[in-house]
Amino acid sequence: MAPKSFSASIARLLRPTHTRSQTSTTAQRHYSVAPNGTVPPTKQKYVPTKGTYPKGFLVSGTHVGVKPTNTGTPDLAFLASETPCAAAAVFTKNKFQAAPVTVSREMLRRRENTGVRSVIINSGCANAVTGKGGMQDAEQMGLHADKCFEEPSDGKGSRTIVMSTGVIGQRLPIQKILNKIPLAFNALGTSHEHWLAAARAICTTDTFPKLLSRTFSLPSSPSIKYCIAGMTKGAGMIHPNMATLLGVITTDAPVAPALLSSLLTNAVNKSFNSICIDGDTSTNDTVALLANGAAGGKEISSDSSQDYYSFQGILTEFATDLAKLVVRDGEGATKFVTVRVTESPSEAAARKIAGTVARSPLVKTALYGKDANWGRILCATGYSLISEPGLPASDVPEIVPEKTSVSFMPSDGSPELKLLVNGEPESVDETRASQILEHEDLEIVVRLGGGQAEGVYWTCDYSHEYITINGDYRT
Amino acid sequence: MAPKSFSASIARLLRPTHTRSQTSTTAQRHYSVAPNGTVPPTKQKYVPTKGTYPKGFLVSGTHVGVKPTNTGTPDLAFLASETPCAAAAVFTKNKFQAAPVTVSREMLRRRENTGVRSVIINSGCANAVTGKGGMQDAEQMGLHADKCFEEPSDGKGSRTIVMSTGVIGQRLPIQKILNKIPLAFNALGTSHEHWLAAARAICTTDTFPKLLSRTFSLPSSPSIKYCIAGMTKGAGMIHPNMATLLGVITTDAPVAPALLSSLLTNAVNKSFNSICIDGDTSTNDTVALLANGAAGGKEISSDSSQDYYSFQGILTEFATDLAKLVVRDGEGATKFVTVRVTESPSEAAARKIAGTVARSPLVKTALYGKDANWGRILCATGYSLISEPGLPASDVPEIVPEKTSVSFMPSDGSPELKLLVNGEPESVDETRASQILEHEDLEIVVRLGGGQAEGVYWTCDYSHEYITINGDYRT
């Protein structure tokens, strides 16, 4: 290929091209419940039909066929910044970190969160537990993405964040991927369809692409319209630290590289670290934040400024909305459930209890069965803070059975349904309970009666489909 | 009823009675997958057709109809010692302890583990989270059982251990139960059929009664044949601290009351605290050990004697075999899986890792799908020791990816199948892997390559039936 300037690429890519056929809004579970690849009717409302995207970012979704059975769905996402930008990422704490996690972490450390040009992501294979060969594959993906920019080296190595998602323990078909990276670069564009194609390309068992965008302003530059846009994927092996997910958030607001990590970490703790599909923390989880400052204005350079806190709020809310989409599309999920623990002596206890209820297979199967089995909610609450087997029973002063209450908050705005009040069961109207459980959305509130702190998790139910999907994932 | 001496009752009960019809070997899931109530053919081998039971213990299983839908299955177990005996119990650490847990713990504390006469157990309702009324119900069950013995008070209150299992948050139909306690007492007997009826009566979603018995001798009295017998029930809400289970173990060996608790605790940690069905720790778990000394011989009175260690070994092995039966009958289970973590720097780390793998929904669904998805085993290993969300990543020196190996140990005696060796994936023969996964039994070995310690858990798979059972448990 003849060298081309990046701007020329952009200009070309804003014209309709043959890659347009890859940007349809279809999504498909690779275990193919819906062989025609369409988004289930109940999920279509979560797929945006338009968006406003940050200046200076270009994206594409390209078909590689990482899984041999994938003959046409995009599975390579390329995201580029027109100029080198600030970037940070939060990675899984799993001790078996996938090769792209190791490579990307090291890259950001070496670059001190500056000078990043792109993110390259494949689905279909996680490049996790793949030994030294897998490390080389991840490095190659980054280097081949770098090459597209034809930028002179600054001696700090790769400028690309690499992510992979899919089956663990298998090597990538690396040559197929490398061959397609230039095509993916040429396919870059800024339209809503480009963003949707990229969001589709990172999906695995997701039934719909998860893409959000919005605009905001900052106190010091009220006349500038900033944009934030991001994509994420689920849909199983989802649990804090983090959920098996990949996420990329981009903004054209100017943020000092040194502040990006703390902004992202704070946002992730209240969003991606507050969702649970199945309690399994994956090997590949990565959420990256890129800020290129393309919209201009004053840089957020102090972590005690009004702009900083304002942006923290915007980022946290945005990340929370992205994370909720992951729960909406939990493997086999039919319910979206908010677990809110209130009146707790500490936020840590409230979060731990909410997370335990959200993870409980018995709570999740009861939700699937539309069974108001609040005893299981209490049961999970009661074991959430206990000591390990073999150790003496701990005191757990945070939970006082006589002060604990449980209610369902219906999503239709009708009054709360009290199930347990101060440790005494209510006489529950089972008909009303069933009506409440017919809705897709439900909020479970556990009040500890012992403080002011609160913790929230978002979870879904366990259905037959979860078993089907995960009993037969690799085939 | 006219007063009768206990011995007279025994004599009468050794004759066949009308209660015999209750002692068939049928078992039934109350969600009625098998409406005819028979033990599934694949499980029949786990139901003993004979047994040798400890002297001086009498048992019965009686129909009450705690669940209105139960029109004939025994759901009240009565277990009595001919003489007051030593007893200890291990209880759930769940903070919402069921009323019978509170009542029984207090009774054993007050009696200092002596002078116990009986255990009364109902299934069909857990009497958990039932407030003050539930406490009174549990106390009444104990007092009504006491009354049957017509023994003068020794000022220490009840002599009965009370247990309940079933739905949480509903009150017992207490009058129905109290009315049947004298009948249950009159039905007491020592035959294998009596023991089997009692074991059936404590079942909930179990598909078969779990009953074991064996004989042993102690070094100081080699000519005396002692017996140990016990029963337990599963089959969901099973996780350490403890599994939702009830268990009663009886022996006619003489053991000093002061030693019983530590003997039982040690045994439970390696047995009932090493199994996982779904990761939910119930509100009602209780395992009791009763020793009446009816077989004579020298009392085990020192915890540094040969007899003590000998009995500890026998009890631990016995409890382990009972606990394994719970896993064999895990809700919807089609697999029995041993997770063994070896070469660990500490037993605590090995146990934590084994428990995390055993609990992972993704590992369990892959086992159900007969999918050799060892990546999920690694993934669960990798997140088993990480810090809570929001806290900094911990170092986890116990796990070194480059030293970690994973193998399947087939149950047919064929050589191990290596999946991962020192962090590098093996080229796995998928056909052979599938053959190994066709068997009901499987052992997963994770070698950490960093020490000598070992930890073992027993678990089962997650199937569609687990969802069916638990999506519709209360109806």
Identify whether A28 is part of a domain: no
SS3 B473: coil
CB contact under 8 A, B375 and A126: yes
pLDDT tens profile A137-186: 999 999 999 999 999 889 999 999 999 998 888 899 999 999 999 999 99
pLDDT tens profile A387-443: 666 666 677 889 998 999 999 998 888 899 999 999 888 888 888 998 899 999 999
Percent of all residues in chain B with a pLDDT value above 70, rounded to a whole number: 86
Answer yes or no: is A205 a known binding residue.
no
For residue A393, how far is the Cα from the chain centroid? 36
A 363-422 residues with CB below 8 A of B? Answer: 365-366, 368-369, 371, 373-376, 378-383, 385-390, 393-394, 396, 399, 401, 404, 419-420
Domain boundary among B300, B329, B358: B329
* ipTM of the complex model: 0.70
Domain boundary among B291, B309, B329: B329
Answer yes or no: is A475 a known binding residue.
yes
Widest pairwise Cα distance in chain A: 76
Identify whether A243 is part of a domain: yes
Q: Which has the higher per-residue pLDDT, A29 or A359?
A: A359
What integer is the mean pLDDT of A191-216?
A: 94
Structure confidence at residue B40 (pLDDT)? 85
Identify whether A17 is part of a domain: no
B335 touches chain A (CB under 8 A): no
Identify whether A91 is part of a domain: yes
CATH code (residue A86):
3.60.70.12
Identify whether B104 is part of a domain: yes
pLDDT tens profile A77-93: 999 999 999 999 988 87
The confidence band for A253, taking pLDDT boundaries of 50, 70 and 90, is very high
Q: Which has the higher per-residue pLDDT, A21 or B438?
A: B438
The confidence band for B341, taking pLDDT boundaries of 50, 70 and 90, is very high
Answer yes or no: is B150 a known binding residue.
no
Contact A203, A233 (CB under 8 A): yes
User: How many domains does chain A fold into?
Assistant: 2
List, by residue number, the catalytic residues of A.
244
* Residues A314 and A353 grouped into a single domain: no
Domain boundary among A261, A294, A329: A329
Strand order in the sheet with A453-459: A275-276, A453-459, A336-344, A441-447, A405-410, A417-421, A424-425
Q: Which has the higher per-residue pLDDT, A135 or A2?
A: A135
pTM above 0.90, yes or no: no
Taking contacts as CB-CB distances below 8 angstroms, the residues of chain B near A381 are: 95-96
* Residues A243 and A313 grouped into a single domain: yes
Instruction: Tell me the shortest Cα–Cα distance from B118 to chain A, in angstroms.
Output: 26
* Residues B121 and B249 grouped into a single domain: yes
Which domain, by its residues, includes B99? 41-329
A 136-165 residues with CB below 8 A of B? Answer: none
From B190, B244, B338, B342, the catalytic residue = B244
pLDDT tens profile A234-244: 765 655 444 35
A 107-126 residues with CB below 8 A of B? Answer: 126
Percent of all residues in chain A with a pLDDT value above 90, rounded to a whole number: 57
- What φ, ψ does residue B60 adopt, rounded to 5°? -155, 160
Q: Report in angstroms the alpha-carbon separations of A400 from A336, B93, B171.
A: 28, 14, 20
Identify whether B107 is part of a domain: yes
- What φ, ψ does residue B186 adopt, rounded to 5°? -65, -25
CB contact under 8 A, B379 and A475: no
Structure confidence at residue B353 (pLDDT)? 93
Among A136-140, A461-465, B83-87, B303-307, whose mean pLDDT is lowest?
A: A461-465
Q: What is the dihedral of CA A21, A24, A28, A34, to 10 degrees?
A: -100
What integer is the mean pLDDT of A458-468?
A: 82
Structure confidence at residue B163 (pLDDT)? 96
SS3 A432: helix
Structure confidence at residue A186 (pLDDT)? 97
pLDDT tens profile B157-199: 999 999 999 888 889 999 999 999 999 999 999 999 999 999 9
* Residues A314 and A446 grouped into a single domain: no
* Residues A415 and A444 grouped into a single domain: yes
- Enter the tokens of residue B448: 């950490």
Instruction: Tell me the shortest Cα–Cα distance from A207 to chain B, in angstroms.
Output: 19
Residue of B nearest to A380 (CA): B280
Structure confidence at residue A237 (pLDDT)? 60
* Residues B446 and B352 grouped into a single domain: yes
CATH code (residue A424):
3.10.20.340
Active site residue B244: yes
Identify whether A408 is part of a domain: yes
Residue A281: pLDDT over 70: no
Answer yes or no: is B283 a known binding residue.
no
CB contact under 8 A, A467 and B464: yes
The confidence band for A291, taking pLDDT boundaries of 50, 70 and 90, is very high
DSSP string covering B114-168, please? Answer: --EEEEEEEEEE---S-HHHHHHHHHHHHHHHHHTT-PPP-SS---EEEEEEEES
* Residues B164 and B111 grouped into a single domain: yes
* Residues A245 and A379 grouped into a single domain: no
Taking contacts as CB-CB distances below 8 angstroms, the residues of chain B near A386 are: 93-95, 241, 281
- Enter the tokens of residue A187: 């396919």
* Residues B317 and B360 grouped into a single domain: no
pLDDT tens profile B358-398: 988 888 888 888 888 888 898 888 888 876 666 666 778 89
* Residues B226 and B305 grouped into a single domain: yes
Identify whether B282 is part of a domain: yes
pLDDT tens profile A10-34: 433 333 222 222 322 223 333 323 3
Average pLDDT, chain B: 85
Structure confidence at residue B222 (pLDDT)? 94
B 31-90 residues with CB below 8 A of A? Answer: none
Structure confidence at residue A304 (pLDDT)? 92
Q: How far is the C-alpha of A250 from the C-alpha of A116, rounded, in Å? A: 12
What integer is the mean pLDDT of A374-383?
A: 86
Residue of B nearest to A471 (CA): B369
Q: Which has the higher per-residue pLDDT, A350 or A1?
A: A350
CB contact under 8 A, B365 and A93: no
* Residues B431 and B314 grouped into a single domain: no
* Residues A437 and A317 grouped into a single domain: no
- Write the residue in A351, A399, A470 that is nearest to B366 by C-beta: A470
The confidence band for B7, taking pLDDT boundaries of 50, 70 and 90, is very low
